[in-house]
Structure 1
Amino acid sequence: MRLPVFLLLLFLLASKAHAFQNDSIPDKRLNRVLTVGGVGYGATLLGLSQVWYKDQGFVGFSFFNDNAEWKQMDKAGHFYSTYQFSRIGNGLLKWAGVDTKRAAFWASVAGTGLLIPIEILDGFSPDFGFSYGDMIANTAGSAFYLGQDLLWNEQRIKPKLSFHQTSLAAQSPHLLGNGLAEELIKDYNGQTYWLSVDIHAFAKQSNFPKWLNLALGYGAQDMVRGRDFQNNQLGFDSYRQLYLGIDFDLSYIETDKKWLKTLLFILDGIHIPAPAFEFNSRKSKMHWFAY
């Protein structure tokens, strides 16, 4: 599996380089982005294949329908990830001198493309399989970024993530993670995905605070297994959570300091704790610091 994945990586990098070769852009910057990104991505895939798939081994390629698992929280994670990959890639390509439209397009293509090898690895795994639901979510996240750029020349609706540790991880550490780093990725009970809506950009009202956004959140609770009947067998009644609250748009903060710009760029993908009202099938409630 290592060789096909490596060849696919080289193909993606070569295609991107060919797409830009006739443009009058700073070659050193673009080469740096492609080289560092390619090496880092290749190392990540190699490490993942050794750590995640080594003990399982590989079998014949198969498909797997996991759309009913985890209250679709994993699909929200795929959507969020490819959107952020596209956002980061767009920033890097623009820094390298690529024009705005082309940067957004190729960053969105890369956003989905970066996860294709991982989905293929899953397809050869005896414990998983190639999930078409994951691929749809991956494509949707990148398309959401590109669509807004084409429609408005800006991102008016930004996917964000918040996380807190839960006691449920101890109930199933092999699935939900053991320790903060693993739980951040695996424990869907502690994750909440948000859509931060830029009211100022839509309303065009100069007197409305630019930094104040409307936040729509989605989460789920009481999940120690993927499917509802599995949770019920273990005495857990999983349920969805919907949130309506506020968010802070840090992209409107102006600064000349590069380190602060970088920090604000990173934080703009995270939902900072803020007031939100939770709706669920059990008991709706107000959170003064929802995260």
Structure 2
Amino acid sequence: MSKKALLLFLFLVSFRLLPQIDSGKSLQFENNGNFRIGLSYDPLPALEPLNIKPEFPKPDYLLLGGLGTAYLGSIAAIHLYQSNAWWSGRTGKFRVIEDWDYALWVDKLGHFYSPVILAHGFSVGLEAAKVDYGTGIWISSAAALLFQLYVEVYDGFAQDWGFSTGDAVMDVAGAAYPVLQYYYPVLYNFHPRFSYWPVKLGKEGHNPGQNLIVVDDYEGQKFWLSMRVNNLFGKGFEKIWPDFLMLSVGYGVRDLDGRGGGKSDFYIALDLDYEQIPLYGSFWQMLKNSFGFIKFPMPAIRINNGVAFFGFAF
């Protein structure tokens, strides 16, 4: 047999050994020892489509009932406090007021931060009750907003106060922030935080019968926005900035006189990223997320008609 015939024979045999698939073609041999070149087309049978139905855990309705009871109880407790501290005066027709600069804006920051923290608390409960995370974000934010607006509406009937459009706008913004973080994850790099050191806690307020609690002790409050520097500026920044450090800007007030006077303080401070703590699991993650709303005491610079350095600002 010549070399050319041998090569042709091997070539044809190799075609015979190829698998016959849907898009492939093979050579056919006759049984009498002779061979002929032909094409065949043997498709595989079509696969049946998989009908997979994902199963989601059913919500824990007993726990949801407990959360609802706690929610209503919290509203009742706030109502009792507000009735004694803020609504004890004359009531009348609903009215709207503009008080954006009340307490030098620290009150408005509080109205932004409060629904953010409330929404987190509600979402933790909903997650424990096995509610879908995305659905839980919407429900918890809506519940936080209703909680805040309930107080605003009652303020509207108090003749010494009124429905504050500034408060309502900041309530809506704060309740919307967790939803925006869910849809725009880059916002998780901007974390609202709060710190408090008692200044007038328990003292009599400007309203008769009012003893100040934490939310009314404006001079003891500071509101912060802590940022994950490396996530925002890229990996090249990691050479000079450790992952566990955040950069925070803050605001606080002093010497409020109840008539619009006082001093505003701005802060630039370091902060800790609790996500970098090497503790893992759902419980530890919940704790890290919850403590993530509290500003850790760290070195800071206060700016107010000059610059002052603090070893620890809280």
Normalised to the residue count of structure 2, the TM-score between the two structures is: 0.71
**Superposed, which structure 2 residues align to 1:138-217 within 5 Å?**
138-152=171-185, 155-166=188-199, 173-175=204-206, 182-205=212-235, 208-217=241-250
TM-aligned CA deviation for residue 183 of structure 1: 4.2
* 8 Å Cα contact 2:90/2:160 also seen in 1: no
Match of 1:84 among 74, 96, 117: 117
Give SS of 1:214's match: strand
- Relative to structure 1, is the Cα distance of residues 37 and 131 closer, same or farther in structure 2, using a 3 angstrom cutoff? farther
**Superposed, which structure 2 residues align to 1:125-140 within 5 Å?**
125-140=158-173
Match of 1:36 among 66, 71, 78: 66
- Relative to structure 1, is the Cα distance of residues 185 and 269 closer, same or farther in structure 2, using a 3 angstrom cutoff? same
Distance 1:152 1:266 in 2: 18
Give SS of 2:162's match: coil
Matched, 1:272 2:296: yes
* 8 Å Cα contact 2:201/2:212 also seen in 1: no
Distance 2:73 2:121 in 1: 19
* 8 Å Cα contact 1:148/1:156 also seen in 2: no
Matched, 1:248 2:248: no
Hey, what does 1:95 align to over in structure 2?
128
Give SS of 1:174's match: coil
Distance 2:143 2:92 in 1: 28
Distance 2:165 2:264 in 1: 23
Give SS of 1:52's match: helix
Residue type of the alignment partner of 2:151: I
Matched, 1:64 2:97: yes
- Relative to structure 1, is the Cα distance of residues 71 and 288 closer, same or farther in structure 2, using a 3 angstrom cutoff? same
Give SS of 2:97's match: coil
* 8 Å Cα contact 1:165/1:183 also seen in 2: no
- Relative to structure 1, is the Cα distance of residues 114 and 50 closer, same or farther in structure 2, using a 3 angstrom cutoff? closer
TM-aligned CA deviation for residue 26 of structure 1: 2.4
Distance 2:269 2:209 in 1: 31
Match of 1:110 among 139, 143, 154: 143
* Runs of 5+ unmatched residues, structure 1: 1-22, 229-237
**Superposed, which structure 2 residues align to 1:226-241 within 5 Å?**
226-228=259-261, 238-241=262-265
TM-aligned CA deviation for residue 130 of structure 1: 1.0
Residue type of the alignment partner of 2:74: T
- Relative to structure 1, is the Cα distance of residues 176 and 254 closer, same or farther in structure 2, using a 3 angstrom cutoff? farther
Give SS of 2:96's match: coil
Q: Which has the higher helix share?
A: 1
Distance 2:289 2:143 in 1: 19
Hey, what does 2:49 align to over in structure 1?
none
Q: Aligned pairs, how many?
A: 254
TM-aligned CA deviation for residue 132 of structure 1: 1.0
Hey, what does 1:119 align to over in structure 2?
152
Distance 1:260 1:175 in 2: 42
- Relative to structure 1, is the Cα distance of residues 218 and 52 closer, same or farther in structure 2, using a 3 angstrom cutoff? same
* 8 Å Cα contact 2:204/2:212 also seen in 1: no
* Runs of 5+ unmatched residues, structure 2: 1-54
Distance 1:58 1:68 in 2: 24
* 8 Å Cα contact 1:25/1:96 also seen in 2: no
Give SS of 2:296's match: coil
Match of 1:50 among 61, 80, 88: 80
Distance 1:176 1:197 in 2: 38
* 8 Å Cα contact 1:275/1:288 also seen in 2: yes
C-alpha RMSD of the superposition? 2.9
- Relative to structure 1, is the Cα distance of residues 175 and 251 closer, same or farther in structure 2, using a 3 angstrom cutoff? farther
Distance 1:94 1:65 in 2: 38
Distance 1:63 1:289 in 2: 41
Distance 2:173 2:111 in 1: 9
Q: Give CA deviations for 1:229-249 in whole Å, capped at 9, x if unaligned.
A: xxxxxxxxx121111111111
